[in-house]
Amino acid sequence: MSAGVSIVFYFVFLFFTLNSQGTNETNSGKLNASVELFDGSRIVGEILIKSIPINVELIGEMEIPIERVRYYRKLTPQTNSVIKTINSDLLTGTILIKEITIDSSIGKLKIPMDKIKQILVYRIVDVKDLLNGLICRWSAEGNTKDLVGGQDGELLFGAEYADGKVGKAFSFSQLRARVHIPDSDKFKIKSSFTIECWVYANKLVEGSGCIIMNRSDNRPGKDTFHIGTNGKDFNFYISSEDDYCIVSSPGKEKEWTHLAGVWDKEEKEIRFYINGEKVASKKTNLEPIWELEAIPDTGVGIGNHAGKFHVFPFDGRVDEVGIYNRALCDDEIRSIYEAGERGCHILPPGVIPE
């Protein structure tokens, strides 16, 4: 079969895929978009178009249903546009519409396509869905209480409270400062999981590694899960008794950033999200280490190593730390990020999820 015929068959297959109803994403909630303009502006709201038409050089004009779009990007006003679908297909070409309409908090806005750098499309997830699988939530509202599962912690070695993304946050400026949560069988999830939090890095230093959140004992590198920094990057990793799997992406200083790490046992994959967008993923057969040494230092650490012997200090603030006993999907993580200062307190008063 010639290369040209193969390409045609691929795009015929792609056409039927894009117009099929199957998807791994949640189907509940309205379809929203986060629109970033070349001037740095950002507009969020319901997207009111049904499709994005694109002219792909090798196949011609195509209509991509908006519910199948993960993102649209155009790096500079002069470059071609790129559409990535929820099935990870990439299409490069010329967009054939002049504008899109967003129903934002300030009304319906028509935005010219030549002003748009990026469109991220996602579904707003119901708050009740975000309670599903939530086993711990430390909100740092002047205490170290777990609002969900009763796994309360303690401030150690100069850790404090300061202004957070939502209310107050844990604040770390001392070398050994940390929040320590004693270990629990609840942390031995032994299935897919998600960890997530808001962070404000005062400084990211080349050549140094810091821990934002981990579960470990006093052995170095034996982390069931870990979100931290390596130089100027944020990272997420899991480790077994004799190996580890890590993904990372560039971080930013002096601004609130949402981080989420997912281990998907069924897909044999780890995924890392920054500000609601999946920035890295890696396939792995690794099973995280669940059984740690039964010593008082074992547990979950925030702002530093869980064990009190090691020092990997994070210089900054951490807020709304959550653990789920399932792999959150892209739309769910995006919804937590978009909730921002409105909605990281996703637990109504007195509600404890099952």
CATH of domain 127-343: 2.60.120.200
Identify the pLDDT of residue 218.
Answer: 86
Domain residue limits, the chain = 3-123, 127-343
CA distances from 17 to 53, 118, 330 (A): 16, 23, 19
pLDDT band at 205 (very low <50, low <70, confident <90, very high): confident
Instruction: Kindly report the pTM of this predicted structure.
Output: 0.79
Query: 266-303: b or e for each residue (b if 16 or more CB lie within 10 Å)?
Result: eeebbbbbbbbbbbbeeebebebbeebeeeebbbbbbb
Instruction: Output the CA torsion 102→107→111→116 (10° steps).
Output: -70
Task: Look at residue 97 and give its three-state secondary structure.
Answer: coil
| CB of 82 closer than 8 Å to CB of 73 | yes
Q: Does position 138 have pLDDT exceeding 80, yes or no? A: yes
Residue 24: half-sphere exposure toward Cβ, Cα within 13 Å: 11
Q: Tens digits of per-residue pLDDT, 276-330?
A: 999 999 999 999 999 999 888 999 999 999 988 889 999 999 999 999 999 999 9
| CB of 144 closer than 8 Å to CB of 70 | no
Q: Which of 198, 223, 194 is nearest to 312 (CA)?
A: 223
Q: Tens digits of per-residue pLDDT, 60-74?
A: 999 999 999 988 999
- Tokens 């990439």 label which residue? 90
Give the tokens for residue 164.
């957070």
β-pair type (244-250, 277-283): unpaired
